[in-house]
Homo-oligomer: A and B are copies of this chain.
Amino acid sequence: MLGELRTGERRPLARLLTRVEGGDPSVRALLPDLFAAGHGGHLVGITGPPGSGKSTLVSALIGEWRKRGRRVGVLAVDPSSPYTRGAILGDRIRMMEHAADRDVFMRSMASRGELGGLAATTWIAAAALDAAGFDPILIETVGAGQSEVEIARLAETTVVVEVPEMGDEVQAIKAGLLEVADIIAVNKGDRPGADRAARQLRAMLSTAGGRIERKPPPVLVTTATTAEGVPALVDAIEAHRSTARSPMRARERAASQVRRALADLAARHAEADPGWEASVQAVADRELDPFTAAERLLDAGRLE
């Protein structure tokens, strides 16, 4: 199975990802080997609000990395579950130019709707692409909420895509940027005010305070539709690779992964517990608080 993956064939990889996404329990046994088979591909998160042109930018990034002879993997993560199939497919069409390239592998990952499911599934899928030798592996997410922060923590380098018209959202954007961005791309750079927006962002970030051990992230202007600025963005991403692999950052990332896996495991054990339904009902009836219910379920697991 892992041998097949390493040949670089698409079919075994696609089959494995279907099992991962479907929550196939037999995937669990593969993980130690899958993880060990990694080639150390660069995990790059691409996030930003809807309408910022993320998908077009991802397509342009793929083009640039292909010019540089790299095999590129893309996971498009959709936190809003079954409903967005349409939106995701629409976005995917923009990437069709790479659909025939066997050194580009693209896949949409839908949310399972359950807490934690998506981050864990994405992480395993990224490990599979890594074992199959793709480098970089791009993880595209929509929005700027907690799930993006979480997925950004799993990625080694996170690019936040913004548009020139930030207006009065700038304070909120600033906060979100500082939390997750290693690099900021002001996309739709052919619109008026793009350079000015980039300068404002740079000025704002340089006086941000906050975590002083981090330099402010570089701000680049890109025009995804013409690929202008895209080579410079790829250079910036490549330059960030070594920073991302500092022992401290690697440990932070590992701790997030373990916490995420713990949450998934604890929920799975509890839901399989014979007391699960009664505990949930007692909480719904306000006879029990959720924390006491959780403690009892965790303790019940221990006594098995």
Contacts and interface: CB of A to CB of B under 8 A. Distances in A.
A145 interface: yes
B31 A289 contact: yes
Given A254-B284, A262-B266, A266-B298, A87 B171 contact: yes
Interface string A243-278: 000010011011111111111111101100000000
Interface string A15-49: 00000000000001001101110100000000001
Contact of A179 (B80, B115, B178): B80
Contacts of A261: 290-291, 293-295
A31 B83 CA distance: 36
B259 A84 contact: no
A51 B31 CA distance: 43
Contacts of A269: 298
Interface stretch (A66-74, A96-104, A146-154, A219-227): A146-154
B270 A262 contact: yes
A28 B291 contact: yes
Contacts of A270: 258-259, 262
A131 to B, nearest CB: 12
Interface string A73-106: 0000011111110110010000000000000000
A144 B145 contact: yes
Contact of A291 (B78, B174, B178, B265): B265
A267 B294 CA distance: 13
Contacts of A208: 83
B283 A258 contact: yes
A167 interface: yes
Contacts of A82: 210
Nearest to A176: B80
A266 to B, nearest CB: 4
A26 B302 CA distance: 24
Given A145-B148, A176-B80, A258 B115 contact: no
A236 interface: no
Interface string A49-77: 11100000000000000000000000000
Interface string A119-130: 010010001000
A157 interface: no
B32 A265 contact: no
Nearest to A173: B50
Interface of A: 28, 31-32, 34-36, 38, 49-51, 78-84, 86-87, 90, 114-116, 118, 120, 123, 127, 142-150, 167-169, 171-176, 178-179, 208, 210, 247, 250-251, 253-267, 269-270, 279-281, 283-284, 286, 288-295, 297-298, 301-302, 304
Given A81-B179, A86-B171, A254-B283, 7 more contacts: A32-B289, A32-B292, A79-B145, A146-B147, A262-B267, A266-B298, A302-B304
